[in-house]
Amino acid sequence: MKKKTLVNKIHKIYVILLFLFFYAPVAVMVVFSFNTSKANVVWQGFTTKWYSKLMGDSELWKIFGTTILIAVLTTVFATLIGTMGAIGYKKSKSRFAKLITNSVYFPIVIPEIVLAVAMFMIFNTAGISLGVPIIVIGNTTICLPYVYITVKSRLVGMDPSIEEASLDLGADRVYTLFHVTIPQIMPGIISGAFMAFSLSLDELIVTSFLADAGTTTLPMKVYSMMKKGVSPEINALTTIIFAVSILGVAAYLIFDAVKTHQDAKAKHKLVDL
Amino acid sequence: MKKSEKSKRAKLANLIMQAPLAVWMIAFVLAPFALLAFMSFMTKGPLGIIQYKPTIANYKEMFNPVYATVIKQSLVVAVWTTILTVLMGYPLASFIAKVKAKTSSLLTVLLMLPLWVSGLVVLYSFVILLNSSGVINSFLMSIHLIKEPLELLYNNFAIIVGMIYMFLPFAVLPMYSSIEKLDPGLIEASKDLGAGPVKTFFKVTLPLTSPGIFAAVILTFIPCIGYYMVTDMLGGGTSLMIGNLIYRQFTVSRDWPFGAALSMVLALIIFLMVFIYTKLGGDLDDLGA
């Protein structure tokens, strides 16, 4: 028994150390957003000037805007097409259906660079000029499989008789889709959409292959700065994004805790009745 | 009459739902891959213009010793990263599977958060941490553990640390899901039958969670070969990997057919790995969760 608790303790310490490894670079990123040195390599002193500089940096905000625009459009397309596809191909077993549903896994298992190169060549060969719309197509192709998989796993767990009951009771297909199927798979759609958005936000390889000269996204900007050193302004911007994400997670946790508490209360009442 | 009408409408409804995905996959996945395969057998003309003369020269070119070192370097980094990621990730996955459901989802979110925010910027922090006057070296020198700064940056060590950082969170998820699915009764049974914890782990737990481990291997190995940014940022351009080499064919060298051939080989290796994975009973969906 004593040996077991010791093993458990070591296990816990190991996990804590691993999380330290994961958050050390994040801490460095936050701390160095307050660093006076522009070189962003050695700590010199405390300042908030990068945050005020960031506020007035129209070029960086424009890049940020482009990045968000691409991520939002990507999320919309990926979520729509991925969800529709997961529902549509739920029961199909034809060879063509197999070809399509198997090809959905391509973008996940193939290294991004290979996909980027293949798309770059086809748009060039077809004479289509690159730019934001093409980047959105590329990003959607990368993100769509994640939506498809999360939605599909929800659909698998769904009781098919509920849909049938709705149809038998006289509801048409559109009504059934929006009032029965979609509410049931909503958690899958949301987590897929979230995944698509965050993947697109950080997407570099496909985006840089499909970008025209006038288009820059945040990851492209960071990558281009790498050789000279990434500006602390970027740290400041990422710190803000990070803080917003943490707040989002915290809000979700609180919301979830309150909801479970209420659910438990409601259940309790039900039992009392 | 009514029945056939109904099934007709059902078919139409299904078709409407299927069409966007089908069109998208054909136009933006299958067609580009067909072109990639085709291009890999074409000839590079002067000034990077493609001549449509079939050849296998692009594939032969890979056996050139110049490229052999690139391939070797890629394999060394990818294999080390994969082994270390699995070894480091498995205990974490088993921890996440052990704790309460609430805690485990919180841990998963915390694990993914740095990458969700910006993998690239966070990765750059390793330059600050590891450089010769960086945080780690300054600390070690201030406590007089070392006199000279350690060479932590711009070598394979830095590349592998960065790669582990980028891919471990993704590798943990499938291992976690396979550990979670494990029937605790089997562990009990093994112990009741007299096997110690070590024997139980190697004879029961490990074989039963092997699909998760293999998924983790795929999720680490694949991006590892392709991610040229980590090599650029933390390797300082001193070492090339296959990803960098492909990238160069489309930027500096302008040799699309060779780039396409390299991509094809990479894709075929990956397909083979995924094929083995599914034959071992692995679920493709675990690669995307």
Least confident of A21-35, B74-88, B194-208, B243-257: B194-208
Show the tokens assigned to B140.
């070690």
| Cβ <8 Å between B39 and A173 | no
Residues contacting residue A143 through CB under 8 Å, at least 6 positions apart: A74, A75, A78, A82, A195, A196, A199, A200
Q: What is the pLDDT of residue A141?
A: 96
Show the tokens assigned to B213.
């481990």
Residue B35, pLDDT > 80, answer yes
Residues on chain B touching A11 (C-beta within 8 angstroms): 91, 94-95
Task: Say yes or no: B284 contacts chain A, CB-CB below 8 A.
Answer: yes
Residues contacting residue B68 through CB under 8 Å, at least 6 positions apart: none
Model pTM score: 0.84
* A/B interface, count of CB pairs below 8 Å: 231
Q: What is the pLDDT of residues B143-186, one digit of tens each?
A: 888 887 878 788 888 899 999 999 999 889 888 888 888 888 88
Residue among A113, A154, A33, A144 at smallest CA distance from B21: A144
Q: What is the pLDDT of residue B1?
A: 46
By Cβ distance, the residue of A112, A138, A219 closest to B226 is A112
Give the pLDDT band of residue B218 (cuts 50, 70, 90): confident
Reported ipTM: 0.83
CATH classification number, A59-235, choose in 1.10.1370.40, 1.10.3720.10, 2.60.120.260, 3.40.50.10190 = 1.10.3720.10
Structural domains in chain B?
Answer: 59-287 (1.10.3720.10)
Residue among A63, A90, A66, A210 at smallest CA distance from A142: A210
Distance from the A272 Cα atom to the nearest Cα atom in chain B, whole angstroms: 27
Q: What is the pLDDT of residues B1-18, one digit of tens each?
A: 456 777 787 788 888 899
Q: What is the pLDDT of residue B87?
A: 95
The β-bridge partners of B50 are B44
Ranges under pLDDT 70 in chain A: 1-3, 269-273
- Tell me the C-alpha distance between B283 and B179, whole Å: 14
Q: What are phi and psi for residue B50, nearest 5 degrees?
A: -85, 130
| Cβ <8 Å between A103 and B106 | no
Distance from the B116 Cα atom to the nearest Cα atom in chain A, whole angstroms: 5
Task: Say yes or no: B48 contacts chain A, CB-CB below 8 A.
Answer: no
Helix H or strand E encompassing A2: helix A2-31
- Tell me the C-alpha distance between A23 and A122, whole Å: 40
Q: What is the pLDDT of residues A17-39, one digit of tens each?
A: 999 999 999 998 888 888 887 77
Residue among A233, A21, A40, A19 at smallest CA distance from B127: A40
Q: What is the pLDDT of residue A273?
A: 58
Q: What is the pLDDT of residues B243-262, one digit of tens each?
A: 888 988 988 888 899 999 99
Among all chains, which residue has been given the structure tokens 């288009």? A215
Q: What is the pLDDT of residue B170?
A: 86
Rg from Cα positions in chain A: 24
- Of A129 and B232, the one with more pLDDT: A129
Residues on chain A touching B285 (C-beta within 8 angstroms): 149, 152-153
